[in-house]
Homo-oligomer: A and B are copies of this chain.
Amino acid sequence: MKPLVAPSERTREGADSRTAARILDSALELFAARGFDAVSVRDIAEHAGANPAAISYYFGAKEQLIQQAIRSVIAPLNALRLAALGEVVARNPDGRIAIDDVVRAMIEPTVRACFTGTGPERHYARIWMLSLSLRQPYIDEVMTEQTDELLQRFVAAMSKALPGRSLASVYWAYDFMIGAMLHILLDPSRNHRLKRVSSGLCDTSNPDDVISELVNFVVRGLHLARPVP
């Protein structure tokens, strides 16, 4: 691959070299800890053992590096989620799917990725919440591009599993589910605050516990949702 001349087109679409991979991984590590703006390209380059100019060479401007970082976190996770959902649907060819299974198809891959993931998706919780809390067009662009379809697919499945409930309830519940999941997933990197204040009653370092508590809570909230008017 050759570096393009015009600055705006200088991004390497592949970014497949070893150096580029190290840069992206270092960027994620530092972004997840301190946020996008508090991390300089020099910090990233140093952490990756590379030259600052290598970042523009492979990714272009910093904004594009951030976009790529967000994408690299969310894309593989969405693939896992959709695969899990597809499996649930395939398992019940008659169309009668259980709401528990649908909810779990969203929650289990996500929680496991954050706890035991080895790729970029292990930074999902922090990177995503960070992106959520900034209101910048170039970030919104990536977020919308990566989640709108996923949302529709899951809402459709949830609604199918709960034919008596209003579609609006399902949309609301989907949003609540994502919010609750994100929030609890941040607990480990906040020194297990919930575990501490609950005197150890809530083991937020055990992915199985987190998954089962989340699924139970969401399914209950959904199952008794207001029926169609």
Q: Interface residues, chain A, CB within 8 Å of chain B? A: 33-38, 126, 129-130, 132-136, 140, 144, 148, 151-152, 155, 167-169, 171-173, 175-184, 186-187, 189-191, 193-194, 197-198, 201-202, 213-214, 216-218, 220-221, 223-226
Contact = CB atoms under 8 A, between A and B. Distances in A.
Contact of A133 (B130, B184, B218): B130
Contacts of A130: 133-134
11 contacts: A132-B133, A132-B183, A132-B186, A140-B190, A168-B202, A172-B194, A173-B217, A175-B184, A179-B182, A220-B221, A220-B224
Given A218-B221, A220-B223, 15 more contacts: A34-B136, A38-B134, A129-B132, A133-B133, A133-B186, A135-B189, A168-B198, A171-B197, A171-B198, A171-B201, A173-B217, A175-B184, A179-B180, A220-B224, A220-B225
B168 A217 contact: no
Contacts of A133: 35, 126, 129-130, 132-133, 186
A135 B179 contact: no
> Does more than half of chain A's interface fall in helix, strand or loop, or is it mixed?
helix
| Nearest 9 A/B pairs, CB to CB | A179-B183, A37-B37, A176-B180, A168-B201, A171-B198, A221-B221, A217-B221, A129-B133, A179-B180
Nearest to A135: B33
A198 B170 CA distance: 10
Contacts of A184: 172, 175-176, 179
